[in-house]
Amino acid sequence: MTNLETPLLKQHHDLGATMVDFAGWSMPLRYSGDVAEHQAVRQAAGLFDLSHMGELMVTGADAAAALDYALVGHMSRMGLWAAKYTMMCTPDGGVIDDLVVYRRDWEHFMVVANAANREAVLGQLRDRIAAGGFDAEVTDETASIALIAVQGPAAVDIVTAMCELGAEDPPALKYYTAANVLLEGGHHAFVARTGYTGEDGFELFVPADLAADVWTLAMDRGAERGLIPCGLASRDSLRLEAGMPLYGNELSRTLSPFAAGLGRVVNFGRADGPERGDFVGREALAKVKEAGTERVLVGLVGAGRRAARAGYPVVTEAGEDVGVVTSGLPSPTLGSPVAMAYVDRGVSEPGTSLAVDVRGRHEQMNVVALPFYRRGA
């Protein structure tokens, strides 16, 4: 049941958005249409309301050490204004959530969690900090922060045009870094060069009471550069083409980062690098790394027109069940059905011919390396 509203709800209604319940939030599914919004991000720019995401602040003298213990990444190695993609795992190696962590000061980190997992991540952070006796605390600032994303080739020009003269220049930001920026109207924003679309882009964290002003500013500055508002449907198709996992589809408590091809985010430390202490799930994840997983995440491209959907079985040409689709849809960019699926390791090599059972009919699919789409390729 929907009971949470972003500070931009009125703007969505005024723009004629189709609204849906997403993780307890009333969110825009689409405005002008799924394909039009998808193509706008690939060709120009899209504007997204992501205020349903959770913003959890971890502060204190031991904030970095606490996150080193709570997450699979080595957070204490982050520089100021850096961002890092990481995960929180269970003791047995399953994924509680995938996260982006920003270091806003030496003793101040912002952990951005998926909306559906915010409370679980908040609780686990507090429990793990207490268990380790760390001098740190966690505060949930989700309600006071709005998150607005500008994504696409024109994003850098649009966000630059949103800034006051003399403000830090967005083009100077490297990928996965952030800065405090002064926007037109004297509004301050924490701006990160991050995103979930496979395109260049920025995510702007602003006070909730300024969300409408910042949204309007982006619409105004982006109007001549092809920017349009975009909903959850296009965000899903964009991230799928870019091979980015979605929690609840490619990631869950029953799957490890290694099964998803994301073992690189698990930092065990290196013999020639900084020492890495214990973290929750370390022992289990080390065993998975050593032994491998029976099934792995792959990309599938269809030869026909019918799209595979999450939950559909993946089979061999002989009809043997060898996997399951986690995400799938017709790709607006490729013009073919694409899907991500977990399949048996023995049939996971690119070029392998498989099929997906689409409502009783076997649709031919070929295994490909992820991602399906890479910017500039």
pLDDT of 275: 72
State pLDDT tens for residues 129-188: 999 999 999 999 999 999 999 999 999 999 999 998 755 678 899 999 999 999 999 999
Q: How far apart are CA 223 and CA 211, in angstroms?
A: 18
pLDDT 10s digits, 279-304: 999 999 999 999 999 999 999 999 88
Strand 361-368 relative to strand 295-302, pairing: antiparallel
Average pLDDT over the chain, rounded to an integer = 95
Work out the average pLDDT over 304-315: 95
Q: Which residues have CB under 8 Å from 327's CB, separation 6+?
A: 236, 240, 246, 249, 250, 310, 339, 340
At residue 166, the pLDDT reads 56
| Percent of the chain residues past pLDDT 70, beyond the cut | 97
Domain boundaries, the chain: 1-291, 294-377
Q: In this predicted structure, what is the pLDDT of residue 170? A: 87
What's the rounded Cα separation, in Å, for the pair 228 and 15?
10
Predicted pLDDT at 274: 63
- Helix (H) / strand (E) element for 128: namely helix 118-132
Q: Tell me how far apart the alpha carbons of residues 66 and 58 are, in angstroms, rounded to a whole number.
A: 9
Helix (H, G, I), strand (E, B) or coil at 37: helix
Rounded mean pLDDT, 9-19: 98
Predicted TM-score (pTM) of the model is 0.96
Kindly indicate the confidence band of residue 2, based on its pLDDT and cuts at 50, 70 and 90: low
What is the mean predicted confidence (pLDDT) over 208-230?
A: 98
> Can you give the pLDDT at residue 303?
87
Order of strands across the sheet that contains 201-207: 178-183, 187-192, 201-207, 145-151, 45-49, 227-229
Residues 152, 43: contact at Cβ < 8 Å?
A: yes
pLDDT for position 239: 98
pLDDT of residue 167: 58
CATH fold label, 1-291: Gyrase A; domain 2 (3.30.1360)
The CATH fold of domain 294-377: Elongation Factor Tu (Ef-tu); domain 3 (2.40.30)
**Residue 272: predicted pLDDT:** 61
State the pLDDT at residue 376: 77
Q: What is the Cα–Cα distance from 219 to 352, expressed in whole angstroms?
A: 45
Question: For residue 114, which amino acid is it?
Answer: N
Half-sphere exposure of 367 (CA within 13 A, CB side): 22
| Confidence at 78, pLDDT banded by 50, 70, 90 | very high
Query: Which pLDDT tens digit goes with each residue over 179-217?
Result: 999 999 999 999 999 999 999 999 999 999 999 999 999
